[in-house]
Amino acid sequence: MPGPLQISGSVSIPEAELGWRFSRSSGPGGQGVNTTDSRVELSFDLAATEALGPVFKARALERLGPRLVNGVITIAASEFRSQLRNREAAEMRLAQMLREAIAPPPKKRRPTKPSRGAVERRIAAKKRRSDLKRLRGDQS
Protein backbone atom coordinates (compact mmCIF):
# COMPACT_ATOMS: atom_id res chain seq x y z
CA MET A 1 0.00 0.00 0.00
CA PRO A 2 2.78 2.53 0.66
CA GLY A 3 4.06 4.20 -2.45
CA PRO A 4 2.36 5.92 -5.37
CA LEU A 5 -1.27 5.17 -6.20
CA GLN A 6 -1.36 3.60 -9.67
CA ILE A 7 -4.25 4.96 -11.77
CA SER A 8 -3.36 3.63 -15.21
CA GLY A 9 -0.28 2.43 -17.04
CA SER A 10 1.27 5.90 -17.35
CA VAL A 11 -0.50 7.80 -14.55
CA SER A 12 0.28 7.46 -10.85
CA ILE A 13 -0.27 9.76 -7.89
CA PRO A 14 2.60 10.25 -5.44
CA GLU A 15 1.86 9.31 -1.85
CA ALA A 16 2.67 12.87 -0.72
CA GLU A 17 -0.39 14.22 -2.61
CA LEU A 18 -2.82 11.96 -0.73
CA GLY A 19 -4.27 13.20 2.56
CA TRP A 20 -5.55 10.73 5.15
CA ARG A 21 -7.91 11.29 8.11
CA PHE A 22 -9.07 8.64 10.53
CA SER A 23 -12.08 8.65 12.83
CA ARG A 24 -14.36 6.28 14.66
CA SER A 25 -16.62 4.27 12.42
CA SER A 26 -20.32 3.76 13.01
CA GLY A 27 -20.33 0.43 11.19
CA PRO A 28 -19.77 -3.15 12.39
CA GLY A 29 -17.19 -3.94 15.01
CA GLY A 30 -18.92 -4.56 18.32
CA GLN A 31 -17.28 -2.99 21.35
CA GLY A 32 -14.14 -2.28 19.36
CA VAL A 33 -15.97 0.26 17.21
CA ASN A 34 -15.93 2.72 20.12
CA THR A 35 -12.17 2.63 20.60
CA THR A 36 -10.56 2.20 17.17
CA ASP A 37 -10.28 4.78 14.43
CA SER A 38 -11.27 2.50 11.57
CA ARG A 39 -13.14 5.01 9.37
CA VAL A 40 -10.91 6.45 6.65
CA GLU A 41 -11.18 9.67 4.63
CA LEU A 42 -8.86 9.98 1.64
CA SER A 43 -8.43 13.47 0.17
CA PHE A 44 -6.78 14.35 -3.11
CA ASP A 45 -6.31 17.92 -4.34
CA LEU A 46 -7.16 17.52 -8.00
CA ALA A 47 -6.87 21.23 -8.79
CA ALA A 48 -3.29 21.51 -7.47
CA THR A 49 -1.86 18.15 -8.54
CA GLU A 50 1.21 17.84 -10.74
CA ALA A 51 0.72 14.09 -11.25
CA LEU A 52 -1.79 14.53 -14.09
CA GLY A 53 -0.98 16.15 -17.41
CA PRO A 54 -2.94 19.27 -18.44
CA VAL A 55 -5.34 17.31 -20.67
CA PHE A 56 -6.09 14.65 -18.04
CA LYS A 57 -6.40 17.30 -15.32
CA ALA A 58 -8.87 19.42 -17.31
CA ARG A 59 -10.91 16.33 -18.21
CA ALA A 60 -11.01 15.14 -14.59
CA LEU A 61 -11.92 18.59 -13.24
CA GLU A 62 -14.78 18.84 -15.72
CA ARG A 63 -16.16 15.35 -15.08
CA LEU A 64 -15.73 15.35 -11.29
CA GLY A 65 -16.82 18.98 -10.84
CA PRO A 66 -19.92 18.28 -8.72
CA ARG A 67 -17.94 16.03 -6.33
CA LEU A 68 -15.15 18.54 -5.74
CA VAL A 69 -14.99 20.97 -2.82
CA ASN A 70 -12.44 23.72 -3.57
CA GLY A 71 -10.75 21.39 -6.07
CA VAL A 72 -10.37 18.56 -3.52
CA ILE A 73 -12.04 15.17 -3.86
CA THR A 74 -12.70 13.22 -0.67
CA ILE A 75 -13.53 9.52 -0.40
CA ALA A 76 -14.77 7.98 2.86
CA ALA A 77 -14.62 4.27 3.63
CA SER A 78 -16.00 2.60 6.74
CA GLU A 79 -17.43 -0.69 5.50
CA PHE A 80 -14.71 -2.87 7.06
CA ARG A 81 -13.74 -3.38 10.69
CA SER A 82 -10.03 -2.79 10.10
CA GLN A 83 -8.46 0.50 9.20
CA LEU A 84 -6.09 -1.17 6.74
CA ARG A 85 -8.93 -2.67 4.69
CA ASN A 86 -10.77 0.66 4.72
CA ARG A 87 -7.60 2.39 3.48
CA GLU A 88 -7.34 -0.13 0.64
CA ALA A 89 -11.03 0.34 -0.22
CA ALA A 90 -10.67 4.13 -0.31
CA GLU A 91 -7.58 3.91 -2.53
CA MET A 92 -9.33 1.51 -4.91
CA ARG A 93 -12.38 3.80 -5.13
CA LEU A 94 -10.25 6.90 -5.79
CA ALA A 95 -8.23 5.08 -8.46
CA GLN A 96 -11.39 3.83 -10.19
CA MET A 97 -12.99 7.27 -10.06
CA LEU A 98 -9.91 8.96 -11.54
CA ARG A 99 -9.53 6.20 -14.15
CA GLU A 100 -13.07 6.89 -15.38
CA ALA A 101 -12.58 10.67 -15.20
CA ILE A 102 -9.43 10.74 -17.36
CA ALA A 103 -10.67 8.20 -19.90
CA PRO A 104 -11.00 9.58 -23.43
CA PRO A 105 -14.50 10.52 -24.50
CA PRO A 106 -16.38 7.83 -26.44
CA LYS A 107 -16.33 8.04 -30.22
CA LYS A 108 -19.23 9.84 -31.84
CA ARG A 109 -21.94 7.62 -33.25
CA ARG A 110 -22.04 7.73 -37.02
CA PRO A 111 -25.68 7.78 -38.11
CA THR A 112 -26.63 4.98 -40.48
CA LYS A 113 -29.55 4.36 -42.79
CA PRO A 114 -31.42 1.07 -43.15
CA SER A 115 -30.66 -0.78 -46.39
CA ARG A 116 -33.23 -0.84 -49.17
CA GLY A 117 -33.80 -4.56 -48.61
CA ALA A 118 -34.50 -4.00 -44.90
CA VAL A 119 -37.02 -1.25 -45.71
CA GLU A 120 -38.75 -3.45 -48.31
CA ARG A 121 -38.95 -6.42 -45.88
CA ARG A 122 -40.44 -4.17 -43.18
CA ILE A 123 -43.09 -2.76 -45.51
CA ALA A 124 -43.94 -6.24 -46.86
CA ALA A 125 -44.41 -7.54 -43.29
CA LYS A 126 -46.66 -4.56 -42.47
CA LYS A 127 -48.69 -5.23 -45.61
CA ARG A 128 -49.11 -8.93 -44.71
CA ARG A 129 -50.24 -8.02 -41.20
CA SER A 130 -52.62 -5.38 -42.54
CA ASP A 131 -54.19 -7.85 -45.01
CA LEU A 132 -54.60 -10.46 -42.26
CA LYS A 133 -56.43 -7.98 -40.02
CA ARG A 134 -58.54 -6.63 -42.88
CA LEU A 135 -59.71 -10.15 -43.86
CA ARG A 136 -60.42 -11.06 -40.24
CA GLY A 137 -62.79 -8.16 -39.57
CA ASP A 138 -65.30 -8.39 -42.46
CA GLN A 139 -67.25 -11.63 -41.73
CA SER A 140 -70.78 -10.53 -40.92
Q: What is the pLDDT of residues 77-92, one digit of tens each?
A: 988 888 889 989 999 9
Q: Using H for helix, E for strand and C for coil, what is the string for the chain?
A: CCCCEECCCCCEECHHHEEEEEECCCCCCHHHHHCCCCEEEEEEECCCCCCCCHHHHHHHHHHCHHHCECCEEEEEECCCCCHHHHHHHHHHHHHHHHHHHHCCCCCCCCCCCCCHHHHHHHHHHHHHHHHHHHHHHCCC
d(CA 107, CA 39): 40
pLDDT for res 129: 95
% of the chain beyond a pLDDT of 70: 89
Would you place residue 65 in the very low, low, confident or very high pLDDT band (cuts 50, 70, 90)?
confident
| Cβ–Cβ < 8 Å for 119, 69 | no
Q: Is the pLDDT of residue 45 over 80?
A: yes
| Per-residue pLDDT at 128 exceeds 80 | yes
**Residue 35 pLDDT > 80:** no
Residue 27's pLDDT band (cuts 50, 70, 90): low
Q: What is the pLDDT of residues 85-113, one digit of tens each?
A: 998 999 999 999 998 998 888 899 999 99
